[in-house]
Structure 1
């Protein structure tokens, strides 16, 4: 995960255009609709909704957008029927990819995603073809320079807060939790003044594919970028790890 997390952190720090920001708002709104529909509109009794509201505020999503999405989910405002699906496949170099999708037209989305995989050197697979390589976990990431304390001290605090593991790779720290402990660990670490670049319940890979070839790395990152940009794709989970020297070359091109 570390190679992908580092790439995500790099993109997170880039300034977003208004168009990009609008797309982010739309994607989060879809997640909020699903969460409110499945667990109710009260964030105090719906941990998933609570986490999504925090995520929305973290990207400065207007409150009226958040409230409108919640009301759509609870049925107070009418809206089209949307559903959650997961797509799985392989990218260049045998990299495993899992896509979290929210769509109002499954057939259209499936055709789009299949086309993107095929066009960029990947293959959309059957359900279950790569999911066995991933486990659902809470994932908190940040730059090791931003923790404001010694790395060993941070790791100890995270473990005491309930984290299952803390990993560091190329300046990126990953705090791994169970899905159930995610909110508690996040809140306790934030009490120390720590702010995360990303915080989500994600599919974390247990099997890593090392991508040591520049051209393959470029193709993998291009495919991930394009998939993430699709309107119906909420998240792309991948199991690649790219060495620092290769990642730096990709960024320069």
Structure 2
């Protein structure tokens, strides 16, 4: 049975992060918490999603104390997955491996900072060559759509896919229709995000009143856009 104190090698020099890493390991070790010991990567997904949305709420509220708490909850999920992997056959990586991989990735993604052959004087310059860098890192990806998480909420997914579609010349023209005008969903109609939010809410309310699922409807429309993107990529490849 482990003692009540979390064992920390060289505790005097340990950082707060070291202490948290040791706490995760302590809870998952034999004699620790039975619930922690039973978890898998798959069983933890729901908590990662929940904690991520709670962090978003904290960021949007601007509450410093809530941000500290919710950032900690997300960090704990990362450490939990890493400790789980460190003790799982076929995985055997830990948080140090995760950190090392991320450092290499950030250095390679910022050649304009770390002495590479790129120069960037603005954020737009950086975004402009990130796709090239990603393509070099992940040559198995053949479409701009590859790598987009399918579990994203429909609205976030639509925004992501629209951005990717523009990169291959597929641009959706938004034509105001009678129905759109009635619900104030038309091109260049919104003065700010407050007006846009109200129009989106009105659209969802109208869909709900008609027994329609707004999330499913938007996902279906996004799939159609993805088909257009892949068709455009195929045509470009043939040319």
Which one has the largest radius of gyration? 2
**Structure number having the greater helix percentage:** 2
Give me the TM-score of the superposition, normalised by structure 2: 0.27
Task: With a CA cutoff of 8 Å and minimum separation of 6, indicate the structure with the bigger relative contact order.
Answer: 1
**Structure number having the greater strand percentage:** 1
Give me the TM-score of the superposition, normalised by structure 1: 0.26
